[in-house]
Amino acid sequence: MQDPRIRIASAAVLSLAAFISLHGAVAVFLWWLVFTPRLQLAKRIRLVFSIILMIAFFSIVLELSGGGGLSYFMRMTVIVLVGMWIFSEQKSGEFLSIGVWLFGNRSGFEIGMIAEMGMQSLVSVTTDLDRIRMAEKIKGMQWKVRSLVPAGLVLVHGALARAEDTAELLAIRGYRNGGTVCPKFLTLPIDIVAGIFAVGILFFTWIPVSEFFILYR
Amino acid sequence: MVRITFNRLSVVRDPWSLSASGTFNEGVHLVNGDVGSGKSTLALMMAGLLPLSGGTIEREEITTTMLSLQFPELHVTGLSVAEECASWGVAPDEILDAIGLTGKEDASPLSLSRGELKRLHLACVLAQDYDLLLLDEPFSSLDCEEKVKLCAQIGQKTQGITIIFTHEQNILPRVKRIWEIVEGTLFDCGTPPDAFQHWRHVPPVIEKLIALGSPPDNISRDDFLEAVCRIQG
């Protein structure tokens, strides 16, 4: 999907639809199968499998402690799949363009810049995590639950150091607020079709369709 | 004898790619190249941590491999400096004394400055012998004095293959062979001083010495000084 406005709006409505009900989650999953490059995504973002495993763990706990675990698992997994798609399709500068397109060169620029920094940080954290696991392998250590503590510290430390560097750089360059961007977007017909379907899924998930049909029974 | 050979090795990450062929024998090698040229990728592939897109890597008699990543914090697995030293299998007292960090045993490794952490990391790595030692940007975050000390330590290595991946141009150890990554290809420049003719990004100091008719024998500071002395007669 080329147009980031439609992509982000679609992701927002699809996530909401998947969260609201199990039917919505199934519909969103079908949308994901039709409109995204699925397996290629999964290969690129290996971290997704770990997240899905974590969701599975909490779902089992939920199921054993009171029920609803399966529904939770399916809904959350679909939301993760949508998130994975958004993360992999996002290109540098898109959030800035959307921010300015939505809210103008002052607050829009700032919101967009914060979103850009967030995404950049996410990419850096993913790369760092890969390297940390490699470094542990080099030391001959196995990845264990205990490894999470130092790895987490390194990741947080790295993210804070990068944030500090960015803040200093902006201050040195004399940044105070706002900025100027001329956003340009490429919209393909398939983007519009996918967007309409995404909104349609939310619509049919939101309204009580079954009750509507009962009236005509 | 230990040896590592690249047979038409390639890695493709569209639009970027890297290809390499050649053999690294025992001794210290320099792999030079611009930032982003693929030095770290090549180091990771040599360590067997990245899959190849094509070609093969043959490792002969290499049983122990160590890769030092550019950013030392990525190696940190200990919650204290002493624990970090222990994770490398070295005694903290000895190492910390050698690098001037005595008294910081209980400090978090992440509370050290980047330079201190780099010194600690390199000291732990260099405390042991490996058949294949890969050092990715070992000179980054070090001041001149520490770079010189590191060169001396690397120069003392008498066995195994040591490969330095760096864009450093001024302070380097004496090396057996120089390699260079240019436009996605690894080139074997040869052995110094003949290698200087083929080294596209030859350091300015070597260029100057060649222009003055006194090329250094190798790329260490001592070699530069010796070449300068030759000029002065």
Phi and psi torsions of A55, nearest 5°: -65, -40
Phi-psi region of B62 (alpha: psi -120 to 50; beta: other; left: phi over 0): beta
* CATH code, B189: 3.40.50.300
Domain membership flag for residue B219: no
Q: Which residues of B lie inside 8 Å of A (Cβ-Cβ)?
A: 44, 47, 49, 65-67, 69, 71, 73-79, 87-88, 108, 110
B51 found inside a domain: yes
Residue type, A146: R
Nearest to B77 among A128, A134, A136 (CB): A136
Give the distance, in angstroms, between the CA of residue A88 and the centroid of all CA atoms in the same chain: 9
CB B37 within 8 A of CB B195: no
Tell me the per-residue pLDDT of B198-224, one tens digit each, with 9 for 90 and over. 999 999 999 999 999 999 999 999 999
Give the Cα separation of A138 and B59 in Å (integer): 17
Range of the domain at B152: 3-64+129-201
Calpha distance B214→B228 (Å, rounded): 7
**Would the pLDDT of B186 be above 90?**
yes
Best mutation target among A130, A143, A154 (most B Cβ atoms within 10 Å) is A154
Name which of A131, A146, A148, A149 to mutate to probe chain B: the one with the most chain B Cβ atoms within 10 A of its Cβ: A131
Q: Dihedral sign, CA of A61, A67, A70, A76?
A: negative
Per-residue pLDDT of chain A (217 residues; tens, 9 = 90+): 899 999 999 999 999 999 999 999 999 999 999 998 866 666 566 677 778 888 999 999 999 988 889 999 999 999 999 988 888 888 889 999 999 999 999 999 999 999 999 988 888 888 898 889 888 888 888 777 777 888 899 999 999 999 999 999 999 999 988 888 899 999 999 999 999 999 999 998 887 766 666 655 5
Per-residue pLDDT reduced to its tens digit, B88-119: 999 998 899 989 899 999 999 999 999 999 99
Does A155 lie at the interface with B, CB-CB under 8 angstroms?
no
Would you state the pLDDT for residue A39?
A: 63
Distance between CA atoms of residues A44 and A55, nearest Å = 20
Cα–Cα distance, A182 to B154 (Å, whole number): 52
Examine residue B222 and state whether it is found in any structural domain, yes or no.
no
In DSSP terms, which residues pair with B68 in a beta bridge?
B135
* Within-domain flag for B151: yes
Which residues make beta-bridge pairs with B181? Answer: B33, B186
By the 8 A CB rule, do B193 and B226 touch? no
Residue B226 pLDDT > 70, yes or no? yes
pLDDT band per the 50, 70, 90 thresholds, residue B153: very high
**B26 and B177 Cβ atoms separated by less than 8 Å:** no
Cα–Cα distance, B210 to B162 (Å, whole number): 27
* Distance of alpha carbon A56 from alpha carbon A54, whole angstroms: 5
Residues above pLDDT 70, as percent of chain B: 99
Chain length of chain A: 217
CB B229 within 8 A of CB B216: no
Of residues B49, B79, B87, nearest to A139 (C-beta)? B87
- Residue B68: closest CA among chain A residues belongs to which residue? A135
For residue B196, being part of any structural domain is answered with yes
Asked if A136 lies within 8 A of B44 by C-beta distance, the reply is no
The whole-number average pLDDT for the span B62-79 is 93
Closest residue in A to B72 (Cα) is A135
Sheet holding B54-60, edge to edge: B54-60, B3-13, B16-25, B185-190, B177-182, B27-33, B161-166, B132-136, B65-68
Predicted local distance difference test score (pLDDT) of residue A126: 85
Cβ-nearest to B47 among A138, A139, A141: A138
- Quick check: A153 and B71 CB within 8 A? no
Q: Which of B14, B65, B66, B74 to mutate to test the interface with A (most CBs of A within 10 A)?
A: B74
- The whole-number pLDDT of residue B173 equals 95
State how far residue B146 is from chain A, nearest Cα, in angstroms. 23
Query: According to the model, what pLDDT value does residue B65 have?
Result: 94
Report how far residue A69's alpha carbon sits from residue A76's, in angstroms, rounded to the nearest whole number.
10
Q: Considering the domain boundaries, does residue B213 fall inside one?
A: no
CB of A145 within 8 Å of any CB in chain B?
no
Per residue in B124-138, pLDDT (tens digit) is 999 999 999 999 999
All structural domains of chain A with their residue ranges:
1-90+187-217, 94-186
Number of independent structural domains in chain B? 1
Contact residues, chain B, for A141 at CB < 8 Å: 77, 87
Query: Closest approach of chain A CAs to the CA of B188, in angstroms?
Result: 27
Contact B162, B27 (CB under 8 A): yes
B25 part of a folded domain: yes
Question: CA B137 → CA A111, B32, B155, distances in Å?
Answer: 36, 10, 16
